Amino acid sequence: MNDDRYTVISADCHAGADLLDYRPYLEKRYLDDFDMWAATYVNPYEDLLADSADRNWNSARRLAELEEDGIVAEVIFPNTIPPFFPSGSLMAPAPTPGEFERRWAGLRAHNRWLADFCAAAPGRRAGVFQILLNDVEQAVQEIRWAAGAGLKGGLMLPGTPPGSGLPELHARVYDPIWAVCAELGVLVNHHAGSASPPLGDEPAARAVFMVETTWFSHRALWHLVFGGAFRRHPDLRLVLTEQGSGWIPGVLAMLDYYHGRLLAAAKATTAEAKFGVGLAESMGESPSAVWRENCFVGASFMRPHEVPLRDRIGLDKIMWGSDYPHDEGTYPYTREGLRFAFAGVPRGELAAMLGGNAARVYGFDLDLLDPIAAKVGPTVAEIAEPLPEPPADATSPVFARGASVRVW
Tell whether the model's pLDDT for residue 29 goes beyond 50: yes
Instruction: Round the CA-based radius of gyration of the chain to a whole number and report it.
Output: 21
d(CA 190, CA 157): 5
Q: Are 290 and 284 in contact (CB under 8 A)?
A: yes
Phi and psi at residue 60, to the nearest 5°: -65, -45
Average pLDDT for 38-51: 88
d(CA 193, CA 213): 6
pLDDT at 159: 87
The secondary structure of 175-193 as a DSSP string is HHHHHHHHHHT--EEEETT
Amino acid at 161: P
Average pLDDT for 138-146: 98
Does residue 2 sit within a domain?
Answer: no
pLDDT at 408: 38
CB neighbour list of residue 280: distance below 8 Å, 6 or more residues apart: 263, 266
Does residue 15 sit within a domain?
Answer: yes
Average pLDDT for 170-180: 97
Tell whether the model's pLDDT for residue 212 goes beyond 50: yes
With vertex at residue 369, the alpha carbon angle to CA 368 and CA 370, rounded to the nearest 5 degrees, is 105
SS3 content of the chain, % helix, strand, coil (to 5): 50, 10, 40
Does residue 184 sit within a domain?
Answer: yes
Does residue 224 sit within a domain?
Answer: yes
Secondary structure class of 404 (helix, strand, coil): coil
Q: Are 249 and 200 in contact (CB under 8 A)?
A: no
**Identity of the highest mean pLDDT range in 264-268, 274-278, 353-357:** 353-357
pLDDT at 273: 75
Determine which of 33-47, 346-360, 373-387 has the lowest per-residue pLDDT on average. 33-47
Domain span at residue 138 reads 8-399
Does residue 47 sit within a domain?
Answer: yes
Does residue 245 sit within a domain?
Answer: yes
CA atoms in the 13 A half-sphere facing the CB of 380:
13
Secondary structure class of 120 (helix, strand, coil): coil
Q: Tell me the percentage of the chain whose pLDDT exceeds 70.
A: 96
Number of domains making up the chain: 1
Q: In the sheet that 154-156 helps form, which strands lie side by side, from edge to edge?
A: 8-15, 71-78, 125-130, 154-156, 188-191, 238-241, 295-300, 318-321
pLDDT at 93: 63
Does residue 213 sit within a domain?
Answer: yes
pLDDT at 240: 98
CATH of the domain at 320: 3.20.20.140
Tell whether the model's pLDDT for residue 406 goes beyond 50: no
Does residue 3 sit within a domain?
Answer: no
pLDDT at 1: 60
pLDDT at 276: 74
Q: Are 384 and 350 in contact (CB under 8 A)?
A: no
d(CA 77, CA 58): 15
Tell whether the model's pLDDT for residue 274 goes beyond 80: no
C-alpha torsion 66→72→73→76, nearest 10: -10
pLDDT at 407: 40
d(CA 406, CA 408): 6
The per-residue pLDDT of the chain, averaged, comes to: 92
With vertex at residue 4, the alpha carbon angle to CA 2 and CA 8, rounded to the nearest 5 degrees, is 60
pLDDT at 91: 58
Strand partners, 130: 156
Query: What are the DSSP E strand ranges found in 131-181?
Result: 154-156
Higher pLDDT, 69 or 197: 69
pLDDT at 229: 97
Interval 64-94: pLDDT, tens: 999 999 999 999 999 999 999 987 666 556 6
Interval 392-405: pLDDT, tens: 999 999 998 654 44
